[in-house]
Each structure stands twice: as structure tokens, then as C-alpha cells.
Structure 1
Amino acid sequence: MTPRSLSLLLGGTLLSLGLAASAAPTKPECIAPANPGGGFDLTCRLAQEGLKASGALSDPMRIVYMPGGIGAVAYNHVIAQKPDDPNSIVAFSGGSLLNLAQKKFGRYSVNDVRWLAAVGSDYGVAVVRDDSPYKSLKDLMGAFKQDPTKIVLGAGGTVGSQDWMKAALTARAAGVDYRKMRFVAFEGGGDALTALRGGHIQAYMGDAAEAFTMLEGGAPIRVLAVFNDQRLPGKLASVPTAQEEGFDIQWPIIRGFYVGPKVSDADYQWWVDAFNKTQADPSFAAIRDKQGLFPFNKSGADLDKYIKERVAEYTKLANEFGLIRQ
């Protein structure tokens, strides 16, 4: 065999090995770190439907439910049991990142998985009744600062949760000690809306997609501001940002996926390319919109950088609000 023939043979073999290493997963699965229903399930279904519609994934993707600790059980399982599994992607949310910042995922940190892709986002909002005397966020903040005891904030989360953090940030922006704010935790948006309508709370610190659904259903509410650096598209485009009202409150709630820490570069890149292809497909916007999410397209190194910046910011906030025990 001539040197040239040997070179061509080796080159072809290496190419074949490279293609094999980055081939589509044979048994793709999305782990939803919760019971069926809810945000993690929604995130996995978004991947399941989107990857199929774009043609990025031909084999059917199954959804595996692994509840516990808003993602902690799944995080620990993948790192310890499936560190190099190229078939498994795991859903995460902004709440997962907040828990990581508060060291609620055990001994593992934000550096112990490979962050893959974000496929959509929601944003915090401040909501009042449609007949509320507070016609703007400035009105609400003024009343809050004047007498914090008269403004009861409600949301669907306990102390340290995303919804609580939105309320605490609102209090801080109003110049009110967060420890003096009156906060009521509810099981979900429906209960909070009932309390708002009954006058038991003055403002609901919710999510934009949830508020949009409420408005579409005819709920008597007014969205005062969205906690983002720019206005949202669509039917909430008329709602100002908190920054426009003079308050620096931002709370993006991203949804996306990660894989185990030892998944090969080739397999990791296959998933990155698959999600990039899916999000570029015209059909994906309709699928995402159906789930009530807004555009947020980051993947690979870009997402990894963003995630680590967010966790650092959440860690800073958690320390400021006394949520991390030293």
C-alpha cells in the first residue's frame, strides 16, 4: 500500500469515527426534574416537539420524570450516574439556577454539568386589580415606601424562591427593608389571583406568560410593569418595563437544557447544533408561543457564560437577602 493510499484510508477511518461520535442519539430522552405537568414538563415537551418538527431529531424522544428539590435530584443523578450519557438532556429553569446559587444542590456547583441550550424565557411582572388605585409602578412604589404595612405582596413561592425574590427586589427598589415587607405565599397563580381579586393582597408578583393567560381569560387585572430591560413583544407590548418607570428590577426566567459533565465534545456539539437548527426553523416560534414563552436563544459557550453570570448574580442577591448560611 502506498503512503498516499494509507493516508486516504486513515483519513476516511478518522472521518467515519468522527461522524459516529457525533451521530444522533439512539435513545434520546429528556429528564424533567418534577412530576408531570408544570414548567419542567413544558420545557421537555418543547424540546420533544421542536426537535421533531425541525427534523433535527428523527427518533422519538421520551420524557423521564425525576422530581425532587426543583431540579436537585436530577442534577445529582446525572452527574453521578450518567456523566457521559449522550442520550440524556435535562431541563432546567431560572429556579434551578437560583437554587444552585443558594447551595441547595448538595456538593455540586454550576461548573459540574455542560450547559446546552436555552429555548425560551418568561419574565417577572407586577400585577394589580384593574380597579386598583395604583395605575403605574410608580404609584405602587410610592405607596409602598410611604407605608409598607399597607401593601401586601403575594406570589406562588416561599422565602428564597423566584417569586419571593421578585417581591424582595421590588421592596428594595422602593427603598423598603425587605424584612419589613408583607409577603403571602400561595400554591400557584390561581390562588394568588383569587386573593388579589378579593383585596387580600395589593399586588401579585407573577410571570408575564401567566399574566397574559389571565388577561386572555378575562381576568380583571392590570400589568403595571415587566421586569426586563426591554418591552415584550405581542399583546404585552404596551406594558412598560420597570426601568422605564425608574426602577432597576430585572428578572428573566429562562428555560433550557444541560447534559452530563463527561459527555464528549462531539456529542455535546451535536445537541448544540440540533437546538440551533430547531430554533432557526420557522415552526419553532409557534411551538414556543403556544407554551407561553418568549424568545431566548442561547447555546453552547454563549449559554455557559450567561448561566455562570446569572448564578454569580443570584449568589450575590442571596447573600444580600440573608438566604445563604455561612
Structure 2
Amino acid sequence: MLEQLPVLLLPWFAEHRRDLPWRRDREPYHVWLSEIMLQQTRVEAVRGYYLRFLERLPDIAALASAPEDVLLKLWEGLGYYSRVRNLQKAAQCVMEQHGGEFPRELSAIRALPGIGDYTAGAIASICFEAPTAAVDGNVLRVILRLTVCADSPADVRVRRRIGESLSAIYPAGHCGDFTQALMELGATVCLPNGAPQCEVCPLRSLCEAHAQGTELQFPTKPPKKPRRIEQRTVFVLQCGDRLAVCKRPSRGLLAGLWQLPDVPGKLETAEALRQAEQWGVHPTGIVKTAERTHIFTHVQWDLRGVWLTCAAEAPQFTWADENALQHEIGLPTAYRQFLDLHAE
């Protein structure tokens, strides 16, 4: 069955491929950057980030030498900030170990920080026409439905087995297009949950799940673990035209990123004022309070935001004006969402 995929998918992809900025060339830096950005992030959300990132850091050398605050600001709002830190570590490896030239061999690509089997396969096939499959969630879904395979998509052995089966049928001279065709089919046609568009799928004549009417049973889904819920109070401390920010701990969630000051638990107004007084900012008034929620993969933050005007800039904080907050300091969305409280 799988050996028929290139014949069916390549003409379909040529006609239906989306015009995405990272598909306009096969420069390894561009493909690599897009694949890292697209991990757990929607295509439409990535477009603007991708173009802004390349405008500021146009090549691997620029990425390797960029200050961390510049990197984090460019990544602000994309989340999973370890991705951009690993991106820079890998760029530094390319500069130091490969003379600034992105490696062509799969093993060398795979050895770079932050690059796993999927990303290495994507880069090797798209940029260097290597017959190496890139098996992400979209590709897994396509193959598991085609073959009515009930194996868990979370099992790394299943991913590797499918990757080996696909790599064996890669068409010489069209490896990059075949990789992208598989991705495109899963992203636009063989959709998850209740939305597969079987009537326009170029593989519907092969698909065993479609023949059985069991598309929605594949891939099988392991039971979800409940998210841990944490409560926090976030402070917007305003002194004149500047707001207080600080760095998060170097380990743990959002490690080393800028944040608004916060404390565990949801503080009542009087408690929040006492906390601010303990910091030495001498609060003079409450501008606004609000409730927000921010969801990470395994943790949910239930947040209470408190905007206070202050009489003193306590030295344990960095005090940033609007220009710095907009152009220099990258705040994760969990905190940045409170900067508009006064406008509500």
C-alpha cells in the first residue's frame, strides 16, 4: 500500500500546496527555523514570527551571536522558550564545528541541540533530497488511518517503524516534495477529531479506515492526565511611566525569562497591598484588578492581576518604560496579558 503514496501524493501536492514563506526556497536555516517554530504552534501564528525573526537575524551567524534578550523578544508569545535557546545553541555548534555551513548528513543534523528525528528528517529531505522521513503528528495520523493501526502514536517505536517504512519508498529527486506532501495532507485534509475531509483526499481509495468508516477511531488516544492547577497573583507595579519586571529562576517553567512580579496564591486586595509594601515600592493606589487563566501543556495557572501605582522604584526590580517593554523585554503571554488592564 505505502509504495503507492508518492504517485498519488506528489501531483496532489503540486496542485494544492499552500504558499508558505518557508517553502519559497530550500535554505537549511529557513527550513530549520520554520520547523522549530511550527512545533506545537499553528501555521498562521508562525508566519509573522518567521518573517520578523529572519529580518532581525538573517543567517546562522547572526543567530549564533544574538544577545539572549533579543532572541527572547523575537520569540515572545510563541511559548516553549527552550526551543529558541536550543536554536541558538545549535547555530553556535554550526559555526564552531561545521565552519558556519549547515551539515548535510542526517547524523550530524540530528546531533545538533534541539533537533530530534522529525526535524532532522525534514531538513535532510527538504534541503538535501535525502530519503529520510519526517514523522510528526500529522504524518502519524495519515499512516495510522491508512493502515487502521491501533498502536499508540505516543510510542517512539511506532514513530520509528513508520519512519523506516516511509523512508523506504521515498522517490529519488522528489524527497523534499514527498515529505512536504505528507505533512500537507495531515495538516489540511486528514484532520484530527471530527474534521477529516475524506471526500477530497487523494489517498481515500487506499485508506482502510475510510473503507471501514472508522476514520475517527484512529489514531487511538491515551487518556489525558489532568493538568496541575496553580494559583498566583501577578503585580503590575507602576512608578511614573515605568513598570517593574524581574527575571524568573534559571530552572523550571519559563526559566530565565522576564516576568511581572508575582507570588503564589490569589491575594485579596489588602494582602496584595501588604506584599507590595514589603517589596518597598510604597503603593499609592489600585488602578485595576482582573482574573486571567493561562494554560501550559501540563499546568494551568489561575491568575489574579493587581495593577498598583507606586511611590518608589524598589532596587530588586528592573523598571522598564513602554518602549523597552515593546521592543526590548520579552514577556511571556501569561504576564503580558496584564499590561492592558488599565485600558479595560
Q: What is the TM-score with the length of structure 2 in the denominator?
A: 0.24
Query: Higher relative CO (CA 8 A, sep ≥ 6), structure 1 or 2?
Result: 1
Which has the higher Rg, Structure 1 or Structure 2? 2
Q: What is the TM-score with the length of structure 1 in the denominator?
A: 0.25
